[in-house]
Amino acid sequence: MNFLFIADPLESFKISKDSTLAMMRAAQEAGHSLWFCEARNVLWRKNAVLADCYSLAIKPSGSAWFELGPMEGRNLNTFSAVLMRTDPPFDIEYLNNTWLLSAAVSQGAKVFNNPTAIRDHSEKLSITEFPTLIPATLVSRELSAIEIFHQEQGDIVIKPLDGMGGMGVFRVGPDGLNLASIVETLGENGRRTLMAQRFLPEIAQGDKRVLLIGGEVVPFALARIPQGKEIRGNLAAGGKGVAMTLSASERKIAEQLAPILNKRGLFLVGLDLIGGYLTEINVTSPTCFVEITEQTQFDVSQFWLKALEKALT
């Protein structure tokens, strides 16, 4: 099979722990052909969706870890699978790219995750579809509504809907210190919608990333544990990643959501769970493959590859 990876520049990969690179290695080792392009290289030309892309070979080690062939313009429906692995933020250009990929799907391309499904699933707001699984949550642009929510909950976390890697996450404790200032700054004086959630002290045990692949549940989560006085467990914010077997409650949530999301075209999903509560459903570019594999010997990339091969047959 031949796989096209649409991803960020290869030079930006953190080769020691990049999940997309782990996928590429697994596919190459299984004998599949790799192709690469950036999102900017996907285009509509001559009534078709194409990519100006490069054949890709992954080398065993060293700083020059990849080799690209000459650029070729190829119709996306000539690939066995197109893997959308561009990192957020989900801005207008990301949205434009999903529309192009949806056009490619209509022309027969097989895109993972399905671009229409990605558009329909805000990584923050999609949790509202499952209200029994989430902590007390408010979504609003209004300072007054957030103030009332804070009075009711006493200790809350506020975050923007388009944040990633823990960016822009603030905790406001019972004293309400700086609540108005935080809301005005994050919300740009009412121009941006924010999400507020009851603070979950179980964050001390980790913000757990649970992977769903092809409708199945990876049996290990990566608990991203805040360090020092930090409240954010995100690895990008300095959290420590510790792989753990799923608890009974975590597995129950994951097994409930896996078939639902997979049926919608969300082949690879990263659930975020804190204290048994669902806080996010990540569908753009879920990670943590390498950390789980290295700490548990459960090869997530192989699990992903077998599921992808099955979905393509």
| Enclosing H/E stretch for 218 | strand 216-225
For residue 162, indicate whether it is catalytic: no
Structure tokens, 174: 């019972």
User: One of 18, 207, 250, 272 is an active-site residue; which one?
Assistant: 272
- Residues with Cβ within 8 Å of 295's Cβ and at least 6 positions away in sequence, in order, are 220, 242, 243
For residue 124, indicate whether it is catalytic: yes
- Residues with Cβ within 8 Å of 85's Cβ and at least 6 positions away in sequence, in order, are 5, 6, 7, 8, 20, 23, 285
User: One of 85, 198, 208, 224 is an active-site residue; which one?
Assistant: 224
For residue 224, indicate whether it is catalytic: yes
Residues in the chain: 313
3-state helix, strand, coil in the chain (%, to 5): 35, 30, 35
Strand ranges of the sheet holding 170-172, from the earlier edge strand across to the other edge? 137-140, 194-198, 156-160, 170-172
The SS3 call for residue 263 is helix
Do the beta carbons of residue 288 and residue 211 sit within 8 Å?
Answer: yes
Structure tokens, 98: 């999903």
Q: How far apart are CA 29 and CA 64, in angstroms?
A: 18
For residue 209, indicate whether it is catalytic: yes
User: One of 85, 159, 198, 208 is an active-site residue; which one?
Assistant: 159
User: One of 124, 198, 262, 291 is an active-site residue; which one?
Assistant: 124
For residue 142, indicate whether it is catalytic: no
End-to-end CA distance of the chain: 11
For residue 93, indicate whether it is catalytic: no
- Residues with Cβ within 8 Å of 147's Cβ and at least 6 positions away in sequence, in order, are 176, 179, 180
Do the beta carbons of residue 248 and residue 237 sit within 8 Å?
Answer: no
Residues classed as catalytic? 124, 159, 209, 224, 232, 272, 280, 282
